[in-house]
Structure 1
Amino acid sequence: MIDALLRFDTDLFLFLNRHYAGWLDPVMVWFTERNTWIPFYLLLAGWLIRQFRTQGGWMLLTIAAAVALGDQITSSVLKPLTLRLRPCHVEALQPLIHPVLPCGGQYGFASSHAANTFAMATVLTLLLRHRSPWVAYLYVWAILVSYSRIYVGAHYPLDVLAGAGIGTLAAFGSVWVYTRFYTTTKAKSN
């Protein structure tokens, strides 16, 4: 069963990775690079603080907690535990894939990029969906960043799906803590 799942994952990776376009390479590199998003993160942080004041600061801490939790589960727990090579490190796959960037770290299960982006999108959606419905569009961003990891040859689809799931769960847990803490703190101040 596991072998069949991994074989399907590899076949799906090869299918997705082989469907590339030269003009799309720099776009996917831009999406996958972490530093690309620093201005976005700064604008978002400024907007949260300006719009929600103290509560915005707590929201930022909640995002940071969810991202840190998702990142640590994927990078410090799952990658060393599973030791699943990134597709770009599998010698038999190297002639079959379209690598856009140098391969990076040796192990890929689960994707930290997917965990981090889905954690952030989920926290903001859970906290702000009633006040700012546009935050749901952050899932489009998270999906594009996650797909870019397959496009550049760094992750299998299962790596990305697992990372997205871990990030989403980390967000739910962090928002649960935020809700309990912020509600308690707010009640004490009134």
Structure 2
Amino acid sequence: MIESLQQFDVDLFLKIHRGMANPFFDWLLPLMRNRYTWAPLYLFIVVFSFVEYKKKGWYIIGMLLATFAIGDLIASRLIKPFVARLRPCNEPSLIDQIIHRVPCGSGYSFPSAHATNHFAIAVFLIFVFYDKWKPVLPIGLAWAFIISFSQIYVGVHYPIDTMVGALLGTTIGLCTAKIYRTLQPQL
């Protein structure tokens, strides 16, 4: 059962990584996973939180940072070393099939910390801003998805890595949003 799941994961990875290869994706998707690409968005979220929510903006940003920290801690520090799954770009059996679009990195693959962190952030922000700004739902989910998908396309994660990361991040975002809503009336 596990072997067939792993084979499915490798096959799906290759369909995305190699089968969808084109010059536009080769240019766009490495940018989508780069943290510097999103720096203006992060700055906007901070400024927007302070301008729109005043003192509560500090609480929003603090909870957002906690959401990120929890996601990163669980994915990168707890699960990855325990599972110790090689990244596809470091997998010896795939060496001849990998297209090197970005540096591979030496860390482990499962789960994707990019997927975990960005889904956690997106879900938290959806719960914070949805009442005043409904488009945050599709935009937040699309943002987290494109970053996660990019991880597969560039060759640093398998699809299951990003799916589990998305589920883990969603769970973390829901939990921190619940904490935010519980403590919010006291502000």
Same fold (TM over 0.5): yes
Q: CA RMSD in A?
A: 1.1
Q: CA deviation at 1:86?
A: 0.3
Q: Is the 8 A contact 1:118 1:142 kept in 2?
A: yes
Aligned to 2:16: 16
Is the CA contact (8 Å cut-off) linking 1:122 and 1:172 kept in structure 2? yes
Using the alignment, how far apart are the partners of 1:174 and 1:100 within structure 2?
Answer: 34
Question: Partner residue of 1:38?
Answer: 39
TM-score by length of 1: 0.93
Gaps of 5+ in 1: none
Deviation at 1:15, TM superposition (A): 0.8
Partner residue in 2 for 1:125: 126
Structure 2: gaps (5+ residues): none
Report the CA distance between 1:160 and its aligned residue.
0.3
Deviation at 1:99, TM superposition (A): 2.1
Give the drift of 1:105.
2.5
Distance 1:159 1:38 in 2: 24
Identity of aligned residues (%): 35
Separation (CA, whole Å) in 2 of partners of 1:33 and 1:115: 15
- Residue of structure 1 aligned with 2:170, choices 160, 168, 180: 168
Structure 1 residues 125-166: Cα deviation after superposition (integer angstroms, max 9, x where no partner)? 112212111211111111111100001000000000111111
Displacement of 1:106: 3.1
TM-score by length of 2: 0.95
Q: CA deviation at 1:25?
A: 1.2
Counterparts of 1:58 and 1:112, CA distance in 2:
24
Bigger helix fraction: 1
SS in 2 for 1:102: coil
CA deviation vs aligned residue, 1:30-80 (integer Å, no higher than 9, x gap): 111112211110011101110111122211112111111111111001110
**How far apart are residue 102 of structure 1 and its match?**
1.3
The Cα shift of 1:114 comes to 0.5
Q: Give the 3-state SS of the residue equivalent to 2:178 in structure 1.
A: helix
Counterpart mapping for 1:172-183 below 5 A: 172-183=174-185
Aligned ranges 1:5-154 → 2 under 5 Å: 5-18=5-18, 19-136=20-137, 137-154=139-156
Distance 2:106 2:34 in 1: 14
List, as ranges, runs of 4+ consecutive aligned residues in structure 1 with deviation greater than 6 Å.
none
C-alpha separation between the residues in 2 aligned to 1:177 and 1:79? 26
Alignment size in residue pairs? 185
Q: Deviations over 1:85-139 (max 9, x none)?
A: 0000001102112220111133110001111111111011112212111211111
